């Protein structure tokens, strides 16, 4: 099953499957993160903030320009354990995971916070 998530996430992150699947990225992230120690997108953001990336996270949640995040920043903030869990869940090599996250996480979080507050994906009857 992790290969399916990896495939879908990779395709959505790269924009290959179009805007509908790219719009599904927050739900995919939420589902994958629920199977890691981070627990949720909120847990991921909390980890990033505690690791010195507060300005980036704040920009993604806010209405202005999204600040970029580098592969090295993500690697330092998430650590080997969290990265290993995410990579395993997605069936991706860690280097590829970091590249995809650095490129697309700011936009995904921005999409999940239209009113400046993170709106976690709760399921179809939300």
Contacts of 40 (CB under 8 A, 6+ apart): 30, 33, 34, 120
Q: pTM of the entire structure?
A: 0.77
Domains and CATH numbers, the chain: 2-111 (1.10.10.690)
Per-residue pLDDT of the chain (126 residues; tens, 9 = 90+): 334 444 555 554 554 444 434 456 677 778 888 899 999 989 999 999 999 999 999 999 988 899 999 999 999 999 999 999 998 888 888 998 898 889 888 888 888 888 777 876 544 333
d(CA 48, CA 74): 8
d(CA 14, CA 26): 14
């Amino acid at each position: 099953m992790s290969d399916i998530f990896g495939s879908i996430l990779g395709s959505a992150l790269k924009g290959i499957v179009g805007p509908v699947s790219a719009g599904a990225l927050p739900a995919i992230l939420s589902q994958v993160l629920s199977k890691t120690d981070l627990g949720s997108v909120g847990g991921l953001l909390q980890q990033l903030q505690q690791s010195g990336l507060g300005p980036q996270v704040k920009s993604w949640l806010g209405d202005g320009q999204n600040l970029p995040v580098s592969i090295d920043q993500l690697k330092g903030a998430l650590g080997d354990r969290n990265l290993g869990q995410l990579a395993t869940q997605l069936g991706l090599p860690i280097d590829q995971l970091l590249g995809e996250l650095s490129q697309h996480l700011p936009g995904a979080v921005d999409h999940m916070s239209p009113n400046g507050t993170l709106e976690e994906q709760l399921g179809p009857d939300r």
